[in-house]
């Protein structure tokens, strides 16, 4: 899921967020990189914990790491608004840059999964060898999974990208309007769609996706970014710490509200808002000069999109190996499995990021720049 880098003005040649270029706020966006790293790691831990049979009996419930998706959505809204605020606002270029950023790696990994499922369909219980479903997946078209009859594409994590792409379309449309008008229109459109989905639900993949309340979390990111556009001189460390505590308490309280778990209508409130507070806190700490440099978080943040997409392959392989060679369930062995999934996933994601994600982005951006020069 995930938002990754903007690909417009504040990115480097290797695909990472530009740490040198100051935005209107003077931020260098280390905070966003850290959040992306934390969110991706949380999702990996969640999926690894789910794969461990009986882990709930003696491990903390790491499944709440799925909240990393909500952090990604808020971060996405933040980055889209933040990086286009003082940039040339061209809807077409914005969408092309987004496609360059998102599509290549997703297409490659979805195709790999389709080939694997087609060769050995009995080895998979969620993915389908249906070619139409594969095309719908790589084209970000919401559809029913032929095996599960839910909205999961052939690459499971791709469901979040369907939300991302729809948000990009709405945000791109807002760029043709004056800045304030466009922002209000984008937020208003998403809010109206969410209200429509709540008041008049229809069991259709397009309607379910494009009226989901989860889209409101992108709006929360826009609001957070707007709050940091105008420079201020206050000391942010103490308020930021308070926001971190408030966000953590909100998530902790939510974990006991069993009747609300899994309901998308309440997720933006009970998870989205704390996620927005967390983003606010990290950015505030950076603005206040209280955010330390942590190189490993920066690296994992850069590779977070690759980590988000590849960890499912790593998890599947390790789960089979673990099931074959380890037949003991205890807090030690389960914790070792989860740690192994995380370590190997990061180890795989970094070269995937550098050699597939970055290089494909460089090549496509160079082609786009050449085309723009010819048309200029």
pLDDT on residue 347: 97
Q: Tell me which residue has tokens 């209000």.
A: 184
Q: Which residues are paired to 139 by β-bridges? A: none
pLDDT on residue 35: 95
Q: Looking at 141-155, 161-175, 319-333, which range is the least confident one?
A: 319-333
Alpha helices in the chain (DSSP H): 30-51, 68-84, 91-119, 131-138, 159-174, 179-199, 205-210, 216-229, 237-254, 267, 273-287, 295-302, 304-325, 331-352, 358-375
pLDDT on residue 128: 84
Crossing angle of helices 91-119 and 358-375, rounded to 10°: 140
More confident residue, 234 or 299: 299
- 8-30 mean pLDDT: 49
**pLDDT tens-digit map of 50-93:** 887 655 455 556 667 788 999 999 999 999 999 888 766 688 88
- Residue 230 scores a pLDDT above 80: no
Rounded to two decimals, the pTM is 0.86
Q: Which residues are paired to 11 by β-bridges? A: 17
Q: Tell me which residue has tokens 């994600």.
A: 357
């Amino acid at each position: 899921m995930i938002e990754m880098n903007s690909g417009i003005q504040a990115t480097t040649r290797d695909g990472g967020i530009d740490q040198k270029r100051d935005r209107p706020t003077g931020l260098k966006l280390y905070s966003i990189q850290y959040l992306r790293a934390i969110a991706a790691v949380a999702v990996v831990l969640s999926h690894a914990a789910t794969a461990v049979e009986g882990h709930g009996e003696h491990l903390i419930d790491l499944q709440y790491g799925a909240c990393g998706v909500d952090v990604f959505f808020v971060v996405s809204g933040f980055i889209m608004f933040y990086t286009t605020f003082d940039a040339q606002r061209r809807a077409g270029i914005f969408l092309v840059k987004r496609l360059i950023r998102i599509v290549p790696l997703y297409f490659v990994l979805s195709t790999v999964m389709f080939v694997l499922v087609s060769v050995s369909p009995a080895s998979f219980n969620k993915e389908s060898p249906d070619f139409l479903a594969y095309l719908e997946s790589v084209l970000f078209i919401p559809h029913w999974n032929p095996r599960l009859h839910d909205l999961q594409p052939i690459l499971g994590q791709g469901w979040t990208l369907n939300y991302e792409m729809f948000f990009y379309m709405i945000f791109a449309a807002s760029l043709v309007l004056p800045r304030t008008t466009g922002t209000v229109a984008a937020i208003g459109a998403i809010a109206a769609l969410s209200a429509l989905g709540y008041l008049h639900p229809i069991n259709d993949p397009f309607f379910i996706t494009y009226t989901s309340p989860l889209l409101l979390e992108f709006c929360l990111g826009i609001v957070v970014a707007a709050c940091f556009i105008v420079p201020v001189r206050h000391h942010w460390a103490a308020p930021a710490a308070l926001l971190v505590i408030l966000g953590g308490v909100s998530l902790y309280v939510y974990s006991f509200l069993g009747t609300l778990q899994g309901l998308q209508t309440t997720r933006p409130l009970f998870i989205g808002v704390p996620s927005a507070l967390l983003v606010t806190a990290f950015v505030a700490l950076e603005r206040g000069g209280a955010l330390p440099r942590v190189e490993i978080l920066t690296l994992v943040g850069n590779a977070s999109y690759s980590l988000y997409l590849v960890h499912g392959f790593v998890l599947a392989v390790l789960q089979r190996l673990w099931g074959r060679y380890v037949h003991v369930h205890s807090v030690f062995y389960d914790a070792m499995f989860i740690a192994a999934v995380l370590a190997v996933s990061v180890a795989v994601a970094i070269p995937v990021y550098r050699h597939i994600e970055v290089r494909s982005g460089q090549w496509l951006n160079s082609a786009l720049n050449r085309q723009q020069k010819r048309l200029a």
